[in-house]
Amino acid sequence: DRIILPYEERAKLAVNPVAKQLFSIMATKKSNLCLSVDLTSAVDILDLLEKVGEHVCLVKTHIDIIEDFSDNFVTQLKQLAQRYNFLILEDRKFADIGHTVSLQYSKGVYKIGEWADCVTSHSLPGDGILKALNNVMDCANRGVFLLAEMSSAGNLISSDYTEATVKMAAKYPEAILGFVCQNKKTFNEPGFIQLTPGVQLESSKDELGQVYNTPEKVILENGADVVVVGRGIVAAKSPETQAVIYKDTLWKCYMKRISG
């Protein structure tokens, strides 16, 4: 059962090197917290990461919401990642035909492939999307989280879709870090990582369909390995204090889970 294995053990079972690295960073930093820095100012993002970088294993960006994007932002982001030992996930949610996705990944203003350790992708278009990413990425230091489920109310993903997504990933194991999903039954492979968003300290929802579960629920019941928190930290009065609270709470749940 993957969910009772410690991250150190799962690092050894991961095929993709970035997945190995993420498991190792979690074990070293004692943090399974992914911060979703959904802010629109580059300066604000860098300020925030200066304060909370030491507490997170992964930083998730939506690069296309930043109003003052520049290559210098990317340089500084990479420096912070190095200094605080976290990885960068660009939450691009690719969803087009393979050819278009390979261009979206490597070209344009953002040149995602140059700086993001990993990206998110939908499986909707079929396995051409993974073939494209696999071709354009260097899987020695890049990888993909595939969306197998979503957190939002009323999303159209069915259990058949989820199952087919996991099967699709099995065709490109060297490119895949794991799945964005909500349920521990989604996959068994211990070398893959379960990335779970839709988390706050109290279960609740926002006014646009987002559904929040608690750390206990997502880690102990639902099998989350890395937990994505956005507004729970970013919109707090003191994001730094709140990041520590999330980090400690999430880690305690993980420790409880692996101790059986």
Indicate the residue among 46 and 181 with the shorter CB distance to ligand S5P: 181
Least distance in angstroms from the C-beta of 210 to ligand S5P: 5
Q: Is 47 a catalytic residue?
A: no
Active site residue 1: no
Binding of ligand S5P by 231 (CB under 6 A): yes
Establish if 215 lies at the interface with ligand S5P (CB under 6 A): no
Map residue 46 onto helix, strand or coil: helix
Spatial distance between the Cα atoms of 99 and 118, rounded to a whole number of angstroms: 19
Residues annotated within a binding site for substrate: 38, 60, 151, 210, 230-231
State how far the alpha carbon of 254 is from the alpha carbons of 13, 21, 91, 96, in Å: 18, 18, 24, 35
Distance of CA 102 to the CA centre of its chain: 20
Judged by DSSP in three states, 67 sits in: coil
| Smaller CB separation from ligand S5P, 132 or 228 | 228
Count of residues that interact with ligand S5P, criterion CB under 6 A:
16
Stretch in the footprint of ligand S5P (CB under 6 A) among 68-76, 101-109, 228-236, 241-249 = 228-236
* Of 91, 117, 225, 247, catalytic: 91
Q: Would you call 93 a catalytic residue per the annotation?
A: yes
Pick one of 113, 178, 191, 197: the residue that binds ligand S5P (CB under 6 A): 197
In terms of DSSP bridges, do strands 176-180 and 226-229 run parallel, antiparallel, or are they unpaired?
unpaired
Strand locations in the chain (E): 33-36, 58-61, 87-94, 118-122, 143-147, 176-180, 193-196, 204-205, 211-212, 226-229
Q: One symbol per residue from 147 to 166: x for binding ligand S5P (CB under 6 A), - otherwise; what is it?
A: ---xx---------------
* Residues assigned a catalytic role: 91, 93, 96
